[in-house]
A and B are shown apart, each in its own frame.
Chain A
Amino acid sequence: MNELSASSRITYRAVMVRPSVARRVRGLSDKTLAWLFITPTIVLLLAINIFPLLWTIYLSFTNYRANRANVPTIWLGADWYQSILTDPDIWAAMQVTAHFVIWTVVIETVLGFGLAYLIDKKFRGHGMWTTIILLPMMLSPAVVGNFWTFLYQPQIGLFNYVVAFFTGRAASSFQMLGDVTLSPWAIVIVDAWMWTPYVMLICLAGLRSIPDYIYEAAEVDRASKWRQFWSITLPMALPFIMLAVLFRGIENFKMFDMVNLLTGGGPGSTTEVASITLKRAAFESWRTGYSSAFAIILFVTVFGLANIYVKALNRVKSR
């Protein structure tokens, strides 16, 4: 009995308590049992992931509108794809998205890694600082979007006062959310504020996974701190950094809630990221076929980029 594995013990107890189930199960092969366990998951996946995806692909080739279900659906072929890929407004939205993704990822990675590096030094009170730094990512994006609109308010906003304090410029002389030059940066700042801690957390896990003996060996070899950083810390933490970049890149490519609350895509279309354009087409204009095609294009883009990136990540890890 003592030699039984934990799972066997559990099975044994189950058999003792529910003999009728055991009798029924006893006649099934391992393969059948395995199928029995994974079938609910597969059914769920098919129902909530695969079927909607296939349905969306189908709709993207039609003129279907969710608000006019009584209008006959016409097969349009690749018309929507052609129209989306040649639409300057869509490309403008993609540029806005690219600006947002690139800058947020760069800033969050640099700051996140820097903070992780500092926190990893385990100075006095580092636990408390870690908790404080992590607070923004624990907030809801809707809350963050709302309170940053107040922080950015030119007349009463704290952000403008802080800038005014350091630059001497009048607080109400500039508007972060209403200015075409500043608003793309306003959304980058908020995202960086909220998600740098997340990158920090992943980088910290990477830094803590580096064994001390490697640094000790480097010390013995009289490697400078700078050399240790470039030859040990950075290469060994790189897979974690890349993972953080992947997560933030995918997340920000489909960013909606925070930007929608902060600027609603404005002023004009200056901060209209692709997901806002998609939402407007799908749920305000009710161009379901068109928006399905756009969603598929976005999905293929993210999926393709993520796959290329994962291959690069695997190459780094296998070094």
Chain B
Amino acid sequence: MKRTKTLVVACAAVAAALSVGAGTTPAHAQGKTITLCWAAWDPANALVELSKDFTAKSGIGMKFEFVPWTNYADRFLNELNSHGSLCDLIIGDSQWIGGAAENGQYVKLNDFFKKEGISMDDYMPATVVGYSEWPKNTPNYWALPAMGDAVGWTYRKDWFARPDVQKDFKAKYGREIGVPKTLAELKDIAQFFQGREIDGKKVYGASIYTERGSEGITMGVSNYLYDYGFKYDDPKKPYAMDGFVNSANAVKGLEAYKELYKCCTPPGASNSYMSEGLDAFKSGQVALQMNFFAFFPGLYKDPNVGGDKIGFFVNPAGPAAQATQLGGQGISVVSYSKNQAEALQYIKWFSGGDVQKKWWALGGYSCAKSVLNDPSFPGSAPFAKEFLQSMGMVVDFWAEPSYAQLLQAEQKRVHDYVVADKGTAQEALDGLVKDWKAIFKEEGKKF
């Protein structure tokens, strides 16, 4: 009997506590809360800050699920493939769009855009094609361009400005040291700094992408391949890859990337991607760093290497072209979400002109023309002009439903050649064509 009494008292206490809690909970928590999934990196923190305005305006609470880049694709593709409803909104990688669209994982946004007056003409064309459309170059939209990004370069401006460096460089190469205009010049600079002592510390040339596990080396080598004339397929005959993927120029591009890796990277850089590049640059190890623009606001603020010490430049030109690897993502509504109406409300809010301006100001990269075409934009940040230029010359990897397989094949072939010294560049690219053909054949593609 005594135990029953105790139980009743405990239940009453819990009920009272709950009712008090409910009374003090903010208004929006009583309404809906939606979850946004993305990668764990600097722009995600900016988005958290930005989204507070959405909650204040709509009363809809925001939860965030951020996963480090190394597990980002695994985690969220698994979530989508298992029809999970964890994410109401997802900022998914550009290459996922084909699979997500064809497998019914994203909500098609055409009707919604039409109803809300959201026009894709208001966004940079490259970002619309890269982040929103499937099939590519058709008006079928599965995402709103959310985070523009591309591969760019940073350099140690303070090292370039040193009289001893300037003197030695001129003596060796017969020209002034400066921002490289071509990949050949970039290699000269990297080679010049490799093993050099600066302030009593041994430094190295460049940090480039060499990671094997996810997408690193592909995202890196592409910047060289595109510049040397590599094409994914025959522009006149889709999926016909012979002579485009493995052209003589593409082979030279792959060889040039390997040369840069061998001559001018720090020891132990055989598995480097975004974070390893940041570490190498922030710790003062390298003169040049290949990385996505998304990291540049953070680097500029870095107390050790930021401010006047850092400079930014676009991927230099190669013998055939000047292009760069597209990064960035669009924001999509997950079709398994139980809160689609609220998720769409978020997209509508996010597309607003003022929100896009604030997004850029906080450290996100807007894709809206209203922000990017503003005359004040190029001067709004030390890397804004380079970002704008890069977005005008981006090329993306395959965005086919089988992109993961295509990516894995390139990761293996390129890493085997560049890092593990297996075979020749020609063999690597011929092998890649063979792998990609097999994958497309399995997909039922005709070429």
The residues of A with any CB-CB pair to B shorter than 8 Å are 66-70, 152-155, 157, 172-173, 175, 177-180, 260, 263-270, 280, 283-287
Contact B271 A285 (CB under 8 A): no
Contact A286 B268 (CB under 8 A): no
Contact A178 B81 (CB under 8 A): no
Residues in A whose Cβ lies below 8 Å from that of B268: 152-155, 157, 172, 175, 177-178
* Distance of A266 Cα from B421 Cα, bound (Å): 12
Residues in A whose Cβ lies below 8 Å from that of B212: 263-268
- Contacts A268-B416, A268-B420 known; A67 to B267 CB distance under 8 Å? no
- CB < 8 Å: which of A70, A180, A283, A285 contacts B420? A180
Residues in B whose Cβ lies below 8 Å from that of A180: 420-422
The A-contacting residues of B in range 374-423, CB under 8 angstroms, are 401-402, 404-405, 408, 412, 415-417, 419-422
* Distance of A59 Cα from B280 Cα, bound (Å): 45
* Distance of A290 Cα from B103 Cα, bound (Å): 20
Contact A267 B415 (CB under 8 A): yes
B13 → A minimal CB distance (Å): 31
Contact A178 B103 (CB under 8 A): no
Contact A269 B412 (CB under 8 A): yes
B407 nearest CB neighbor, chain A only = A284
Contact B271 A263 (CB under 8 A): yes
Contact B74 A177 (CB under 8 A): no
A99 → B minimal CB distance (Å): 15
Chain B interface: which size bin?
20 to 34
Contact B104 A178 (CB under 8 A): no
B94 → A minimal CB distance (Å): 17
Contact A175 B267 (CB under 8 A): yes
Interface centre among A67, A152, A175 (most CB of B within 10 A): A67
Contact B419 A285 (CB under 8 A): no
- Contacts A177-B271, A180-B421, A283-B74 known; A266 to B415 CB distance under 8 Å? yes
Contact B401 A285 (CB under 8 A): no
Contact A68 B401 (CB under 8 A): yes
- Contacts A178-B270, A268-B415 known; A284 to B103 CB distance under 8 Å? no
- CB < 8 Å: which of B266, B405, B419 contacts A267? B419
- Contacts A67-B99, A154-B267, A266-B270 known; A283 to B419 CB distance under 8 Å? no
B268 → A minimal CB distance (Å): 4
Contact B271 A264 (CB under 8 A): yes
Digit string of B41-80 for contact with A (CB within 8 Å is 1, else 0)? Answer: 0000000000000000000000000000000011001101
Q: Known pairs A177-B270, A266-B420. 20 more at Cβ < 8 A?
A: A67-B77, A67-B81, A153-B268, A155-B285, A175-B268, A178-B270, A179-B270, A263-B271, A268-B212, A268-B412, A268-B415, A268-B417, A268-B419, A268-B422, A269-B420, A284-B73, A284-B74, A285-B402, A285-B408, A286-B77
Chain A interface main SS type: loop
A280 nearest CB neighbor, chain B only = B408
Contact A265 B81 (CB under 8 A): no
Residues in A whose Cβ lies below 8 Å from that of B81: 66-67, 286
Residues in B whose Cβ lies below 8 Å from that of A266: 212-213, 270-271, 415, 419-420
* Distance of A267 Cα from B420 Cα, bound (Å): 5
Digit string of B73-112 for contact with A (CB within 8 Å is 1, else 0)? Answer: 1100110111000000000000000010011100000000
A153 nearest CB neighbor, chain B only = B268
- Contacts A154-B268, A265-B213, A267-B212 known; A178 to B99 CB distance under 8 Å? no
B150 within 8 A of A: no
A279 nearest CB neighbor, chain B only = B74
Residues in A whose Cβ lies below 8 Å from that of B401: 68
B310 within 8 A of A: no
- Contacts A153-B268, A172-B267 known; A284 to B416 CB distance under 8 Å? no
* Distance of A46 Cα from B99 Cα, bound (Å): 34
Residues in A whose Cβ lies below 8 Å from that of B103: 67-70
Contact A70 B74 (CB under 8 A): no
Residues in A whose Cβ lies below 8 Å from that of B213: 260, 264-266
Closest A-B pairs by Cβ, 9 of them? A268-B420, A178-B270, A264-B213, A266-B212, A268-B416, A154-B267, A154-B268, A67-B81, A267-B419
B367 within 8 A of A: no
B269 within 8 A of A: yes
* Distance of A267 Cα from B212 Cα, bound (Å): 7
The A-contacting residues of B in range 203-238, CB under 8 angstroms, are 211-213
B102 → A minimal CB distance (Å): 8
B444 → A minimal CB distance (Å): 10
B102 nearest CB neighbor, chain A only = A68
A190 → B minimal CB distance (Å): 15
Contact B270 A285 (CB under 8 A): no
Show 6 A/B contacts (Cβ-Cβ < 8 Å), sorted by A: A66-B82, A268-B422, A269-B416, A284-B74, A284-B408, A286-B405
Residues in B whose Cβ lies below 8 Å from that of A284: 73-74, 404-405, 408
A120 → B minimal CB distance (Å): 41
B402 → A minimal CB distance (Å): 8
The A-contacting residues of B in range 258-276, CB under 8 angstroms, are 266-271
Residues in B whose Cβ lies below 8 Å from that of A157: 268
